[in-house]
Structure 1
Amino acid sequence: MFTGIVTAIGTIASVEDRGDLRAVIACPWDPARIDIGASIACSGVCLTVVERGGEQGDAWFAVDISAETVSRTAQGQWSEGRKLNLEQALRLGDELGGHIVTGHVDAVGRVALKRDVGGSHRFEILAGKAIAPYVAEKGSITVDGVSLTVNEVVDEADGDVRFSLNIIPHTGEVTTLGALEEGDSVNLEIDVLARYLKRMQSLNS
């Protein structure tokens, strides 16, 4: 379980095709605090640590990425040199600063618009009809592992959904979101509460 509050930006140092992919991710953490078998959200994707090393402030960990995961995440996500938003799993007693995030990607969206507004970035994300019922104005959504609040929602004529987000300068600097450009793909996870409410609604209808 995660909160969508990114604590570091990692870089994919190497990728090896072993049937599944084995990726080594460099990060500024203490390797002693990265447990083998632990879950780490990598740009919104929950992955399991299989190796670790390095030293404090210059650590690395390795994860295995299945073909299924590759097919359901943003294009180019698992390539050498790619920057990733990192969050270690929530520990008992940690502050829930964002919202409840599972690290399971529900859809891949596309940055349809990026505009500077003051010091912030306004994004419009276009996503498929499958998640349209779960995206609500002032609701929560996770974009590349970052917990964000939806500003506006527009339902497209073809059933797709377009929603807007405001990325403040701090968020843009401490995550990969500030570097996104129009046309880029992003991992999306809907609010788990919206998922359960939709299920309850379907049972009562």
Structure 2
Amino acid sequence: MKAVPKVNTDGLYIEDALVDDTFSGVVPFYADPPEPDPIESDASPEQPEDGEEPERVIAGYIVGVPVVPGLYLPRFDLAAWEAREEDKPVNPADFWREGLTPEEIEEMHKPAEPSELERLEKDMTSLKEGVADIASELDQVARKADDRLEDVGTIGSEQVKQDLATLDLKKQSTVIGGELVKKDIAILDLYQQNKALGQMLAALELKILAGGDGNVQ
């Protein structure tokens, strides 16, 4: 047994049919006779004339010529088959044609419209990318804030150091000022002592002079 193509009355491929290995050529197959209508079962059916069989309707053909590969919808050229030379070797490419028009083939290659699920998945992907971008921007902002805080901390530390140095200088100035005051007081005390000593010397000289005058008399 082998599989051969079945075509409709226009030669368009329908499906494969199993035939004997020795099968070749093109033979018709017929449509099944219509089933009687049960509503009209009581009516007397028309009886065929004596010796006549009901007419059988050709539904298509079983073709013993292999289909040429690369066709979207194979179509067997029945007219070319009828016009062939009987003794000439059969070349499948002489009988099989493309059954679709170029426009229909182009339409087949157009991208399909995305389904609702695909659109939702695309929207979710876009949202995830947007969230990732926002998270990245927030991370950059946080890093910049940390850098600024570090700078502020450094500046604050330097300011504290300067304030401590200034306070230390003030303390040193206060100590120096205190020492200077002490020296000034000591100098003033020495001055007062010298002044008192001078007064005592002057009084002593007056006494000596007064004593000398008494002796002369």
TM tier relative to shorter chain? under 0.3
- Identify the structure with the greater helix proportion: 2
Question: Larger C-alpha radius of gyration, 1 or 2?
Answer: 2
- TM normalised by structure 1 equals 0.22
Q: Which has the higher contact order (CA 8 A, sep 6+)?
A: 1
Q: Which has the higher strand share?
A: 1
- Alignment TM-score, normalising by the size of structure 2: 0.21
